Amino acid sequence: MCIRDRYQRRVRDRSNSTMATQEIKLFDKYTFDDVNVSQDMALTDYLAVKTSDATFVPHSAGRWQKTRFKKAQCPLIERLTCSLMKHGRNSGKKVKAVRIVRHTMAIIHLTTAENPLQVLVDAVINAGPREDSTRIGSAGVVRRQAVDISPLRRVNQALWLLTTGAREAAFRNIKTIAECLADELINAAK
């Protein structure tokens, strides 16, 4: 048996033992298995938190805007990360946003002793508006008409509201944005 054969056997044994036992967890801590979206049946297709959507890090470099409605398949935690990259000075700094999300998940886990992914799902479900108003009118007469909101817009607006609230709470404050985002998510999930 030559050195190459021993090396290949060792690599094969090592890969078989690690691949069989390895479960995909967010930041190698938080599991996607017990996340439940059954509170709101309309959002089940638009909140990508199933085990098939599991990622180690919310940075897939996927092209989620290429076709219409493809961003609904983007993992929810990555959409939260991308939503944090707003306001010119933070645009494009995804590694910084990933770090903020990692700290936020740790804070949520320490304060609530729950799975932070479940807290995020509950916060998005509760924070998303169910109806809105639109402008109806012709010939100069405009009135507001109540309309229902599509599930994808509910998720988009919930993420925008949560991250904007955290950003404004952390601005000129001693609290970090991770702490403010954790507070927003915990309060919205109640």
Strands (E) across the chain are located at 25-26, 30-31, 131-138, 141-148
Average pLDDT over every residue of 99-111: 93
What's the pLDDT at 20?
A: 47
pLDDT band, very low/low/confident/very high, at 40 (cuts 50, 70, 90): confident
Are 100 and 83 a contacting pair, CB within 8 Å?
no
**Per residue in 41-78, pLDDT tens?**
888 888 888 877 778 878 887 788 888 888 888 888 88
What's the pLDDT at 1?
A: 60
Nearest 5°: the CA angle 83, 23, 184 is 30
- Between 28 and 110, the higher pLDDT residue: 110
Q: What is the pTM of this model?
A: 0.78
